[in-house]
């Protein structure tokens, strides 16, 4: 009894499909490697940092405080100021020192856009050092 194992020509049929099994195997191996290596990369290195012996900067005796009230009126050190006269009032309050830090405080209801407009006015006047005042603790309502 004879059996025929070949069904025709000697050419192999081309397969037009991508075999994704090796790709999945490689991705799983890489996933395991990264899962093992990631915790090792986040370990903090203990460093004994040097301490500074520089004295802290003293606060100015008479700081220049610009206040924006809820009705969007401005005050410098408690004295009312118009928006047009802001630069001149700052020059007189700071003694013409453009490097002096201006402390800016605003009411809670003042919008972000209005606060930014006042900060732009400070920049236009030449005062680039501005610090914002907030209350300690208390959190937002």
Predicted model pTM: 0.55
Domain extents for the chain?
65-133
State the architecture of 65-133 in CATH terms: 2-Layer Sandwich (3.30)
pLDDT digits (tens, 9 = 90+) for 31-78: 999 888 887 776 566 666 666 676 766 776 788 889 999 899 999 988
**Hey, which residues does 68 pair with through a beta bridge?**
74, 106
Burial of 133 (0-12, 13-18, 19+ CB in 10 A): exposed
Mean pLDDT (the chain, rounded):
81
Range 86-89, long-range pairs (CB < 8 A, 24+ positions): 86/121, 86/122, 86/125, 87/121, 87/124, 87/125, 87/126
Highest mean pLDDT among 45-49, 92-96, 136-140: 92-96
């Amino acid at each position: 009894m004879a059996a025929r194992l070949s069904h025709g020509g000697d050419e192999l049929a081309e397969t037009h499909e991508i075999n994704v099994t090796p790709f999945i195997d490689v991705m799983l191996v890489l996933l395991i490697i990264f899962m093992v290596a990631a915790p090792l990369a986040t370990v903090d290195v203990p460093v004994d940092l040097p301490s500074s012996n520089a004295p802290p900067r003293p606060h100015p005796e008479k700081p220049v405080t610009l206040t924006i009230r809820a009705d969007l009126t401005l005050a410098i050190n408690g004295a009312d100021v118009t928006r047009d006269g802001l630069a001149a009032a700052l020059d007189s309050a700071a003694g013409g020192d453009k490097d002096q830090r201006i402390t800016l405080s605003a009411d809670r209801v003042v919008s972000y856009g209005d606060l930014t407009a006042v900060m732009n006015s400070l920049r236009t006047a030449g005062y680039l050092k501005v610090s914002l005042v907030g209350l300690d603790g208390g959190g937002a309502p």
